[in-house]
């Protein structure tokens, strides 16, 4: 299944059962906004859900079930911008249950509340193999479950080096960002109060 239109908007794919696709089960590629894949089942596919790329988004994958993904569960290639991936279940037979392999930076990607299930001993011994630069200012990856619990790797865009991480560190990064934002708001409110007090005086 594919969008097939550059800049497409407002397309829905839902309630489908896709079996044995050599490449992608669904391609939301080159869509611009409000394209949605939800409540589908994808079985025995190479890279099931493709966002290669999205031009700004949002482009949604919600409540899909992926069984036996061959390599990457999500195809976030070619500097994609704006995928929103929530409440999906992914099951993989050989590789890391959460694997992203690309050398372009993803922007404004949201991956939350998904379940990634892999074999007892994934190839390479990792439950997460994120080998792609990220944009910490706009990406939100949190509250995902990965099993089995094993080592994880991530490519760090800022340092240009591979860094060992585990899924809880995503939560820590988001918590740090939220705390910094709260401090900035409190500081701004305090400055406004001081200005008002000065004007009254």
Domain boundaries, the chain: 12-166, 167-201
Angstrom CA distances, 159 to 55, 60, 121, 134, 156, stand at 26, 30, 30, 11, 6
Give the mean pLDDT of 181-186.
67
Q: Specify the pLDDT at position 161.
A: 32
> pTM for this structure?
0.75
- In which element (H, E) is residue 19 found? strand 17-21
Q: How confident is the model at residue 168 (pLDDT cuts 50, 70, 90)?
A: very low
**pLDDT number for residue 1:** 82
For 74-96, write each residue's pLDDT tens digit.
999 999 999 999 999 999 988 88
The lowest-confidence range among 2-16, 52-66, 98-112, 156-170 is: 156-170
**Residue 198 has what pLDDT?**
76
């Amino acid at each position: 299944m594919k969008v097939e239109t550059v800049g497409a908007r407002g397309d829905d794919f839902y309630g489908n059962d896709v079996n044995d696709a050599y490449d992608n089960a669904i391609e939301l590629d080159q869509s611009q906004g409000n394209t949605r894949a939800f409540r589908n089942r994808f079985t025995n596919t190479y890279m099931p859900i493709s966002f290669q790329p999205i031009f700004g988004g949002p482009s949604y994958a919600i409540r899909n079930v992926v069984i036996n993904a061959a390599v990457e569960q999500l195809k976030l290639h070619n500097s994609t911008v704006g995928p929103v991936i929530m409440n999906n279940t992914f099951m993989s037979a050989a590789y890391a249950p959460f694997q992203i392999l690309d050398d372009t930076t993803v922007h404004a990607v949201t991956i939350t509340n998904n379940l990634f299930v892999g074999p007892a001993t994934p190839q390479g011994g990792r439950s997460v193999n994120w080998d792609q630069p990220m944009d910490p200012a706009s990406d939100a990856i949190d509250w995902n479950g990965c099993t089995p619990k094993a080592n994880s790797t991530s490519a760090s865009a800022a340092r240009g080096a591979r860094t060992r991480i585990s899924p809880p560190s995503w939560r820590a990064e988001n918590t740090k960002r939220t705390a910094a934002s709260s401090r900035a708001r409190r500081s701004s409110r305090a400055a406004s109060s001081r200005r008002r007090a000065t004007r009254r005086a």
